[in-house]
Amino acid sequence: MAQTKIIVDSNSYFRLAQNIHPFLCKPFGEELYTLYMHADLTEEIQASSRIRNRFDWVQKEEYRNNRCRSVSLSKAQKKEIDETYEYLWEYVKEEFIDKRGKGPSPVDVKIVATALVLDVFLVTDDQDMLELAKTYEAKQMTSIGLMKLMRDCGHIDDDKINQVIEQWLYDNDTPYARWRVEFKKTFKRDAPKGY
């Protein structure tokens, strides 16, 4: 059976991979859901001292090795992703940057374009990316949604979910203002309060 690929944005990777390891390239569930980072994100992590300082664990060999593979793309898919990116980037400039002064970065737009072309889920907590993906009907979920999928497949349990949430609170790195509402709606219980 073929893998069901899922692309994970860097913000979700940082929120989940430390406690759910190995996080990438390890199939789970009957659908063989397999998580990948976009190659551009791996390069971004390597290039950013800010990221490496804030999330010092990402430089440990076991995590670097887990990030070494990204989604394989054919030449035709790469071309289609580039074309889709150009179209989406024009939209982002008009609807986000010109009107709001901010929006998804070029790498973010490339990731949405990749998810669209491959027709795979994108996991991100970035509200601008989620809005762009929704506008173009790309499949998307948040870190909380991914944890529910993992739990439903027996890949993680509620104790692991609590551990992840407690790490977010300890690191002061929660996804967005109303994440507790999403957590309660998703898991039918209150999120852990932390330490």
Helices (H), 73-187: 75-92, 98-100, 106-118, 127-135, 143-152, 158-171, 179-187
Cα dihedral value 8, 14, 19, 23, nearest 10: 30
Q: How confident is the model at residue 195 (pLDDT cuts 50, 70, 90)?
A: low
Q: What is the mean pLDDT of residues 102-116?
A: 96
Confidence of residue 49 (pLDDT cuts 50, 70, 90): confident
Confidence of residue 1 (pLDDT cuts 50, 70, 90): confident
pLDDT at 156: 98
Q: What's this model's pTM, rounded to 2 decimal places?
A: 0.94
**Average confidence score pLDDT of the chain:** 94
Q: How far apart are CA 6 and CA 100, in angstroms?
A: 29
Condensed to tens digits (0 to 9), the pLDDT of residues 92-107 reads 999 999 999 999 999 9
